[in-house]
Amino acid sequence: MAESMLSLDDVKVHFGGVRAVDGISIALEPGKLYGIVGPNGSGKTTLINAISRLVPLTDGTITFDGTVVSRMRPFQVSREGLARTFQAVRLLPTLTVRDNVRVAVDRMRDGDGGRRGRWRRTPAERNRAENATDVALERLHLTQLAGEYPENLPFGTQRRVEIARAIANRPKLLLLDEPIAGMNREERTEIAEIMKSLRDDGLTQLLIEHDLRIVLSACDHIFVMNFGKCVADGPPRETAARPEVQEAYLGRKHDGGA
């Protein structure tokens, strides 16, 4: 088996009595697009928060590209090459679109893979950061809007800025928390295309999404979560058709149309 990009070993996140994530063990291979589906409150977001280290683990081990990251601080995993977006759009309202993306590459350096903090940057390094910003903006079709402030942009566009920020530093793994929720059909397809093309460039992605249509058409492999556990996983179509998955999904509120 190929070295996995990310592997979780019996990961648990409990909030007091709430077992938001309750013993998840999964492994992601490099270069694939993975999906997580599951009803609301099943622990999907908490799982991503655990991987990006924004919530403390109750138990378990997370290994990212050969490094154990379970006890790292969020900025450290980020510098290891992990990027994420948030379920609610989180842009910096006082910065332009360009600067919102730029903030993710400000620490980009030569030499050490661009991860270590150092005080001054060389002009070459600064150029590289500018270029990385340009590339990310271009990729999400935002070049024209680089000078705008987020509050003047429609919701779907704000989401794209978030994704541009997440990919700007050329991460090894991208976690996307419902990136197309609240978008119209056209925008959804556009984002799905972008995710597929990122996958074709070799970026590993883990996508949380309610819209089964998108998940089924874009993902290589899906995990189904319910009550903090991974109840099924496998190729999208077969997995979604399994009775226990149908039950998990249809037994409770289905809000794919959000």
Considering the rule CB under 8 A, would residue 18 count as an interface residue with other proteins?
yes
Considering the rule CB under 8 A, would residue 117 count as an interface residue with other proteins?
yes
What is the closest distance, in whole angstroms, from the C-beta atom of residue 117 to ligand ADP in the complex?
29
**Is there a contact between 209 and 180 (Cβ–Cβ < 8 Å)?**
yes
What is the closest distance, in whole angstroms, from the C-beta atom of residue 241 to ligand ADP in the complex?
21
Residues comprising the chain, all counted: 258
β-partners of residue 225 are: 230
Which pair of structure tokens corresponds to residue 67?
């490094």
Considering the rule CB under 8 A, would residue 102 count as an interface residue with other proteins?
yes
149 binds, among Mg ion, ligand ADP, other proteins, none (CB under 5 to 8 A by kind): other proteins
Which positions touch ligand ADP (CB under 6 A)?
15, 18, 20, 38, 40-46
Considering the rule CB under 8 A, would residue 71 count as an interface residue with other proteins?
yes
Question: What is 14-80 written as a DSSP string?
Answer: EETTEEEEEEEEEEE-TT-EEEEE--TTSSHHHHHHHHTTSS--SEEEEEETTEE-TT--HHHHHHH
What single DSSP character describes residue 227?
T
Distance between CA atoms of residues 126 and 33, nearest Å: 31
What is the closest distance, in whole angstroms, from the C-beta atom of residue 133 to other proteins in the complex?
11
Instruction: Give the pairing of strands 204-208 and 229-234.
Output: unpaired
131 binds, among Mg ion, ligand ADP, other proteins, none (CB under 5 to 8 A by kind): none
**Is there a contact between 11 and 48 (Cβ–Cβ < 8 Å)?**
no
Considering the rule CB under 8 A, would residue 160 count as an interface residue with other proteins?
no
Distance between CA atoms of residues 233 and 206, nearest Å: 13
Considering the rule CB under 8 A, would residue 155 count as an interface residue with other proteins?
no
**Is there a contact between 219 and 236 (Cβ–Cβ < 8 Å)?**
yes
What is the closest distance, in whole angstroms, from the C-beta atom of residue 52 to ligand ADP in the complex?
13
95 binds, among ligand ADP, other proteins, Mg ion, none (CB under 5 to 8 A by kind): other proteins
**Helix ranges (DSSP H) in the chain:** 44-51, 74-80, 97-102, 123-139, 155-168, 185-200, 212-218, 236-241, 243-250
Considering the rule CB under 5 A, would residue 45 count as an interface residue with Mg ion?
yes
Considering the rule CB under 8 A, would residue 45 count as an interface residue with other proteins?
yes
What is the closest distance, in whole angstroms, from the C-beta atom of residue 45 to other proteins in the complex?
5
Query: Cβ closer to other proteins: 53 or 236?
Result: 53
- Chain contacts with other proteins (rule: CB under 8 A): 15-18, 45, 49, 52-56, 71, 73-75, 78-79, 83-84, 86-88, 90, 92-96, 99, 102-104, 106-107, 115, 117, 121, 149, 151, 165, 169, 177
